[in-house]
A and B are shown apart, each in its own frame.
Chain A
């Protein structure tokens, strides 16, 4: 039970010099007020508090009993004033100061100019307030041509998804909706307008009329496109359109239209440009959620490059890396692993227990999972050993933008390092240490000097390691040889995957321009209690460890030491 703070709102409001004629019950939450703007205008408002003020801000709206609703951005037709996009603001909890904040923002909105550009900036928002609005996806990517495209429809012919008429789009639709599509009978016309639209933004009950839409198309589109449109004349009961409209702000907004014939003779036509009063259509606006790549990935903060990544090792670190890279917008992967997902490791693997129980190859399970989650991602799965795959030319290291090794096997990694250095492809080696004392990601083959071999000291210990030299292996064994494992948790592998992925992304973005070693460092208490000691590198500051270092480079390295400066 939350204890509810009681405020004397009447007093709080009365204390404000800029508020007058306050009407409301002494211990109520709804008040009518007259708000005097600094430029002298007086606007009657209604302010409504709830039980959780000041954690919740009060609702403020125009008192529509005695004032009209100004046509200004952020004032809804109901009169509600959207004065604060509360995401991203922390406010003072002093109720009096908070009221000042509220009224300062409300005043900003009431004083703001109501030029059309402000409405265009929020086009999608206003459009989304339309009555009878339908919502559909678009996985149709940008062209500048008038084009006939597919529209996937549901019950009562309602549009669900606009997509191009090609195999890849249909495949993506199938993955998105997890269905098999054999036939897409409904077609839509994609019409990109050429001239900037400068008119009103439809909202609430004010949608464009058939004539207005016709004028919108005719006045903002080249004659050539209009002629093209006419070619697509059909005799149908449902016509669908996907429009792209350039706005004053420079943005191009997409909206959909659904013309549903109510009555009229049957004739071939393009009703959107051939307004004919003898044919009656119900015109329904469609709000378009964009599923096409660019808009989504950008929103996810990711990349839109054409990088192709080879990921070797799909254990706990590798599976997390794959997931993180896919989330970041990388779409082309080849993954290599010859292991099956086992129940024992399911807690620290990305796929989890329900997948482990299938006892299938990790690569196949991951391919399915990632392609289902991100239907426009392509994963090539190779259930094999990497060295075998390279030697029988199943994998050509030169084909990739980046290689990531997450296999945790130093002996194989030394060999792979040699192979990588013969190519032009950069590679990241990543591994986690026992008991959560840390993890590492090493980027090589960007610059000449510095490679995995540099890490291997003469006594065969690893330069990067946080664990001191020990003769006892750090592995544990619950159940004989087959149960050997390195004790670390899912958090540790994920943390390692994070630094490796960050390194990969900064490389793809062109931010990292030299070979480097990045590490994260965890607590060593449990590690020491188990009888181990930490290395001197463990004592280095987090700054040095996390920001990436080139200190590991050995000029006398047997692999990279002989290379000249590129």
Chain B
């Protein structure tokens, strides 16, 4: 087995969002937006008889749970939930609060803010290219329970696409953060990042053809087991990401349901994975059967590649195999031939008494 743990760890360093690098800039931008919205609301509702609505913000997404990777296209993203201390019963139109934010943020960036179905998106750009964007999902409360509700819908959506849906962004963050601890958690984070990178490399980014990141994260919370073993070279028990990843991919593959499609005359695969918090819906619900089948086949190829890498004794060859799946951020150690000028050595047939 090729020991390529160091290469995996270097790969991880190459792709992860650094806490004090890219993240700090993002945090700064986030704070600017938060303040802008708070102040904007103050200005807008200063004279309103109900007073200024109070809003709190929570970090969401990979950024909140420290599972981010450097984006392929350079477009960083932050998910920041805006929780209004208002009751959904008083706001039949869930897009109303989204419109407030859009209004407040309008003119703040070159690209105007956009209301999307689950959020408001603020796009910052550098030299006309999007440099990062902040997605702001909007939540409100209910008079009848302690839950939060997410505002769905665009300004012009028809009424059945505009609704409040129960959600638990804080619970989700906690669920992910508390799934593992200590060094196991570090391996968990590495494995999730490897797969996010794999997803970016192997799937086109348009539409729902990519499995959602949160799906991979939740699947890892449920199906990943930390793996370490004694390293005979160093005589220490060490994490082996290659095997941990392979085992997880295996488990994920086995979560698919296989059916025969009579029309296409081939097997189609589907996966169902429940969100562990409210509204407990299927994380992969937006993917079509075709997309899921493709997802399955890609996992299968990845599994085979990981297995080949595991069986390959030479670290150069093993890593080269993986570049196809993880991209060129995956380091490849030098080849035997390029390091050693072994020149000519030969095993001739003329030596007598070769050992048995």
Q: Which A residues are closer than 8 A to B by beta carbons?
A: 17-18, 37-41, 43, 68, 70-72, 85, 87-92, 94, 96-97, 100-101, 103-104, 110-115, 298-299
Contacts and interface: CB of A to CB of B under 8 A. Distances in A.
When A and B form their complex, which 5 residue pairs have the shortest distance between CB atoms, in order from nearest? A40-B6, A39-B315, A100-B340, A38-B333, A114-B232
Contact of B348 (A71, A88, A92, A115): A88
Contacts of A39: 2-4, 6-7, 315, 333
Nearest to A299: B356
Contact of A110 (B6, B233, B343, B345): B233
Which of B234, B235, B340: most chain A Cβ within 10 A? B340
A299 to B, nearest CB: 6
Interface string B314-346: 111000000000000000011010011111111
A68 B235 contact: yes
A85 B344 CA distance: 17
B233 A43 contact: yes
Contact of A97 (B234, B341, B351): B341
Given A85-B355, A88-B348, A38 B343 contact: no
B32 interface: no
A89 B336 CA distance: 19
B233 A38 contact: no
Contacts of B336: 38, 104
Given A88-B348, A104-B342, A111-B315, 4 more contacts: A39-B4, A39-B7, A90-B347, A111-B2
11 contacts: A17-B339, A40-B6, A41-B3, A41-B234, A70-B235, A71-B232, A72-B233, A100-B339, A100-B343, A111-B315, A113-B313
Contact of B343 (A88, A89, A92): A92
Contacts of A90: 345-348
Contacts of B2: 39, 111
B43 to A, nearest CB: 57
B231 to A, nearest CB: 9
Nearest to A71: B232
Contacts of A72: 232-233
A103 B340 contact: yes
B347 A88 contact: yes
B356 A41 contact: no
Nearest to B345: A91
B237 interface: no
Interface of B: 1-4, 6-7, 10, 232-235, 313-316, 333-334, 336, 339-348, 351, 353-356
SS of B interface (majority):
loop
Q: Which of B333, B334, B343, B353 has the most CB of A within 10 A?
A: B343
Contacts of B346: 89-90
Given A38-B336, A39-B6, A41-B234, A97 B347 contact: no
A120 to B, nearest CB: 15
Contacts of B334: 38
A18 B334 CA distance: 11
A38 B342 contact: no
Contact of B313 (A41, A71, A88, A112): A112
Contacts of B342: 92, 97, 100-101, 104
Nearest to A113: B1
Contacts of A41: 3, 6, 233-234
Contacts of B339: 17-18, 38, 100, 104
Nearest to B346: A90
A20 B330 CA distance: 25
Contacts of A70: 232-235
A111 B2 CA distance: 7
A91 B10 CA distance: 36
Given A72-B232, A88-B351, A40 B345 contact: no
Contacts of B345: 89-92, 101
Contacts of B355: 85, 87
A44 to B, nearest CB: 12
Nearest to A94: B343
Contacts of B351: 87-88
B80 to A, nearest CB: 38
A83 to B, nearest CB: 12
A446 to B, nearest CB: 30
Contacts of B3: 39, 41, 111
Given A89-B345, A111-B2, A299-B356, A40 B340 contact: no
A38 B316 contact: yes
A304 to B, nearest CB: 15
B313 A111 contact: yes
A71 B232 CA distance: 6
A96 B233 CA distance: 27
A38, A70, A104, A298 — most chain B CB neighbours (10 Å): A38
A97 B4 CA distance: 27
Nearest to B10: A40
Contact of A104 (B10, B313, B340, B354): B340
Q: Give the interface centre of A88, A91, A111, A113 by most chain B CB atoms within 10 Å.
A: A88
A447 to B, nearest CB: 33
A444 B333 CA distance: 64
A262 to B, nearest CB: 35
Nearest to A69: B235
A495 B342 CA distance: 41
Contacts of A101: 340, 342-343, 345
A85 B3 CA distance: 25
Nearest to B6: A40
A230 B333 CA distance: 59
A7 to B, nearest CB: 17
Contacts of B333: 38-40
Contacts of A112: 313
A40 B4 CA distance: 8
Nearest to A84: B345
A279 to B, nearest CB: 37
Nearest to B335: A38
A398 B346 CA distance: 49
A419 B343 CA distance: 62
A97 B342 CA distance: 5
Nearest to B310: A113
Contacts of A68: 234-235
A85 B347 CA distance: 11
Nearest to B311: A113
Given A39-B2, A40-B7, A100-B340, A87 B232 contact: no
B178 to A, nearest CB: 33
Contacts of A71: 232
A110 B231 CA distance: 11
A298 B355 CA distance: 12
A206 to B, nearest CB: 16
A280 B137 CA distance: 78
Contacts of A88: 347-348, 351, 354
Contacts of A114: 232
B185 to A, nearest CB: 23
Contacts of A91: 345
Contacts of B353: 87
A422 B233 CA distance: 71
A104 B340 CA distance: 7
Contacts of B234: 41, 68, 70
A110 B348 CA distance: 26
A330 B48 CA distance: 114
Contacts of B235: 68, 70
A70 B231 CA distance: 9
Contacts of A18: 339
A37 to B, nearest CB: 8
Contacts of B348: 88, 90
Q: Which of B4, B234, B339, B344 has the most CB of A within 10 A?
A: B339
A111 B314 CA distance: 8
Contacts of B232: 70-72, 114
A70 B346 CA distance: 29
B347 A89 contact: yes
Contacts of B341: 96-97, 100
Nearest to B348: A90
